[in-house]
Structure 1
């Protein structure tokens, strides 16, 4: 490798790091990357640090989890009635990503404060469903659904694009660790193993429903405006990979079929982007950390 090539490589890496960090941190609001702490809720060598530290898989898993969550009428109502997703979808995804980063990597006091802020916001997210049933974002049962969709989607995206050979033991460790945050948020029941998570998701299936409003919200999520022209191809890739990650029954409910001929291209491009971003952040923290 020539000496002339090294500066160009370093420049490209720095430029990519800056661009990705800008997506996850709103400078206009004074947001800065989360500081990793030796006093975090979880130790540095924990599985949850490994899973939550990958940019691409967390984006894919996050969108997939959101698509699953909105199939529950109460979760959809909370998004529709109280969220700013129509005008600020990127902001909503940023807030979710920051909460995950803070509760995974930041000092324990900061993590606990973030959890209390979310609980306070949830206290105000209440309403009445079309059939007259009241809903609340702090309902333990609803929180359990939100948690299990996130845990399954974050982990499955990581396995597909980051660690295909991940052991069942490590997968169970991830669920056990992530369960601590869910319990502090008030979720119940909370799965502590992969088997428990899959069983809980299965029990929730009869409560799920899709209607025109569900599909409208899904359309807004999947076709949101990209932060800039350069981000458009990557954003499209993330959305396609997120739909691909959904279980088949969820894709059918959303009316989001994927042609089998598209799958190799979707998965290959996602692996390439994931590898490129990992290369750029080699020796760096993830976009939400410093």
Structure 2
């Protein structure tokens, strides 16, 4: 069992950070800085982003983001997700954790780095109404879609598999709105109800679409090039992400909840067990949170 956990630990670190053994250099830098950052221990953001359901949330966010043809075109036309999907994942995780745990300067620098990468991402796409339109990754409307799909995914997964959120779901949406602002989102939603209304607007207005590119993306997310040791657990987590989706989005993605004939499979319980094993492999407190606490202790914010 110990050897299995050690193998899982190494492969999980490789998947999430790009390195099997050492803590990534950027994580150590989260201990630097001269202020507390945008989020503190006891915040809703720390509660949600420090939990294992974020793994399910990441899969759900990718599935949801694929439904906006403008966002999907940017990924297909400019991203190296096919050649280096884990590298793209590690970059996304770096930004999330830097905004969550870093100083305000580190959070702004990480967001600026992403926005500069986006500057060259532009082209054309066919929208949900069949019209050809231009897109740019830094377009405020596309940034809004990505931000809301992310926020919805992380909140939804945590509500199913996570613990209490300080201040409740509205506090998480309100606090994580700061990340949207850093990324150029204009007036991001500040409550769960507002977030749901904005998310539904894209669906109701026919701005979302399925099709061959969506099917290709879903197939890739369903079966990414993971180490064989991680694949059984990933299948459970993918099923969890699918089960957590609203039926209308699941239908657009061409997905169904896991079943054995007419009998639904116990995805919620299987996911809880799988996340428990991942938690055991990775440790109780992640290195990003540890580095943030080191900075906070130095500044007198935390013991």
Q: Give the conservation status (yes or no) of the 8 Å contact 1:24–1:287.
A: no
Residue in structure 2 matched with residue 171 of structure 1 by the alignment: 169
| Counterpart mapping for 1:106-185 below 5 A | 106-130=102-126, 131-163=131-163, 166=165, 169-185=167-183
Q: Give the conservation status (yes or no) of the 8 Å contact 1:62–1:154.
A: yes
Report SS of the residue matched to 2:84.
Answer: helix
TM-score for the superposition, normalised by structure 1 = 0.86
Report SS of the residue matched to 2:95.
Answer: helix
Residue in structure 1 matched with residue 253 of structure 2 by the alignment: 254
Task: Decide which moves more: 30-39 or 146-155.
Answer: 30-39
Q: CA RMSD in A?
A: 2.6
Residue in structure 2 matched with residue 216 of structure 1 by the alignment: 216
Gaps of 5+ in 2: 292-303
Residue in structure 2 matched with residue 3 of structure 1 by the alignment: none
Q: Give the conservation status (yes or no) of the 8 Å contact 2:242–2:255.
A: yes
Q: Give the conservation status (yes or no) of the 8 Å contact 1:148–1:197.
A: yes
Residue in structure 1 matched with residue 185 of structure 2 by the alignment: 187
Residue in structure 1 matched with residue 285 of structure 2 by the alignment: 284
Q: Could you say which structure has the higher helix fraction?
A: 1
1:21 Cα deviation (Å)?
2.3
TM-score for the superposition, normalised by structure 2 = 0.83
- Residue 27 of structure 2 corresponds to residue 34 of structure 1: yes
1:264 Cα deviation (Å)?
4.1
Distance 1:16 1:119, change over 3 A: same
**Count of paired positions:** 278
Cα deviation 1:188-224 (Å, max 9, x = unaligned): 2410110110010011112101111111111112111
